[in-house]
């Protein structure tokens, strides 16, 4: 089975078993998703979802967040970890939105990654989940682990992994594919003890006998 053939099989199986997979960060618009994604670095989405309601009540727009007191902001996001750096990124990002984009979240990769704290993964999350724009494939820890186990890449660098995945996964599936792979990683293909015996991808997974 070639990499392209395996990728097509994986895409079909994931779509069949996880048809409702979606972004697990609660949000109502692109701004909220951008903030939540920045907070999710080295933190669970569940924890972020506990923090953002109060944060968005206090700072519902980019303009409001740009004016936030840093100490107060750090207090609001403290439980997500690395709150000093995250507060700095949030303030810089919000000011960038206000100064360069009239407070609105841009809908291009180029503009998003120019914002403080926003890298390609975050931009892909926002473009895909908030706006339905398939600019690339979100590569998080689950996608890194599973794409390697499934034989879809031999790379370890997220940018190179994304390059390999976009080469074999149909563009129409890019957004859903990432969500489905994340759900599969959480439910079945865990980092320490993957459940190969109940894995719907086992028949096309080259790592099934080693996991």
> Has residue 210 got a pLDDT over 60?
no
Active-site choice (121, 154, 164, 203): 121
Active-site choice (26, 58, 140, 187): 140
pLDDT for res 124: 98
Categorize the per-residue pLDDT at 1 as very low, low, confident or very high, splitting at 50, 70 and 90.
confident
The C-alpha atoms of residue 144 and residue 151 are separated, in whole angstroms, by 11
Domain regions of the chain by residue span: 3-21+138-204, 30-104
pLDDT for res 211: 42
- Residue keyed to tokens 């080295």: 42
Model pLDDT for residues 33-78, shown as the tens digit of each residue:
999 999 999 999 999 999 999 999 999 999 999 999 999 999 999 9
Grouping H, G, I as helix, E, B as strand and the rest as coil, residue 117 is coil
Assigned architecture for domain 3-21+138-204: Orthogonal Bundle (1.10)
The C-alpha atoms of residue 148 and residue 18 are separated, in whole angstroms, by 20
Active site residue 140: yes
User: The CATH number of 30-104 is which of 1.10.340.30, 3.40.50.2300, 1.10.443.10, 3.10.180.10?
Assistant: 1.10.340.30
pLDDT for res 84: 98
pLDDT for res 209: 63
């Amino acid at each position: 089975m070639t990499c392209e053939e395996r990728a097509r099989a994986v895409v079909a199986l994931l779509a069949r078993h996880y048809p409702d997979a979606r972004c697990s960060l609660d949000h109502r618009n692109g701004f909220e998703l951008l903030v939540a994604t920045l907070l999710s670095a080295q933190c669970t989405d569940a924890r972020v979802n506990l923090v953002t309601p109060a944060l968005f009540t206090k700072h519902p727009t980019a303009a409001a967040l740009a004016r936030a007191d840093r100490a107060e902001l750090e207090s609001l996001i403290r439980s997500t970890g690395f709150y000093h750096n995250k507060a700095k990124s949030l303030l810089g990002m919000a000011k960038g939105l206000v100064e360069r984009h009239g407070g609105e979240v841009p809908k291009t990769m180029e503009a998003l990654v120019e914002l403080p704290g926003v890298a390609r993964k975050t931009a892909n999350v926002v473009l895909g989940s908030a706006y339905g724009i398939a600019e690339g494939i979100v590569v998080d820890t689950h996608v890194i682990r599973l794409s390697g186990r499934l034989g879809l890449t031999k790379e370890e660098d997220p940018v190179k992994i994304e390059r390999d995945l976009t080469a074999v996964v149909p563009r129409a599936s890019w957004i859903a594919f990432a969500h489905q792979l994340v759900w599969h990683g959480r439910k079945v293909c865990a980092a320490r003890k993957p459940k190969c015996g109940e894995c719907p991808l086992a028949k096309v997974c080259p790592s099934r006998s080693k996991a």
